[in-house]
């Protein structure tokens, strides 16, 4: 059973891994924990800023929701 995500670094790593499956450019911007969910924002625009948002469950480490521009 996976361990709980306790740091922004862990949440960012999971979100980046997921985002890189869909975009070739990904640069982390921000990670914020809200209760049992991490919201990670990643810049996926190689020329201009385009922010992807990925929600990661802190307990199961699963991607709950994502929004890719």
Domain with 13 in it: what CATH number?
Answer: 3.10.450
Domain presence at residue 1: no
Q: What is the pTM of this model?
A: 0.91
Q: How confident is the model at residue 1 (pLDDT cuts 50, 70, 90)?
A: low
Q: What is the pLDDT of residues 26-64, one digit of tens each?
A: 999 999 999 999 999 999 999 999 999 999 999 999 999
SS3 at position 57: strand
Tokens of 18: 């997921």
Q: 51 with 60: CB under 8 angstroms?
A: no
| pLDDT at 22 exceeding the cut of 60 | yes
How many structural domains compose the chain? 1
Domain presence at residue 2: no
Domain presence at residue 38: yes
């Amino acid at each position: 059973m996976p361990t709980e995500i306790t740091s922004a670094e862990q949440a960012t790593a999971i979100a980046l891994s997921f985002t890189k499956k869909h975009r070739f450019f990904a640069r982390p911007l921000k990670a914020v924990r809200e209760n049992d969910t991490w919201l990670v924002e990643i810049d996926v625009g190689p020329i201009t800023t385009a922010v992807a948002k990925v929600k990661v469950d802190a307990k199961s480490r699963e991607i709950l929701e994502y929004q890719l521009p």
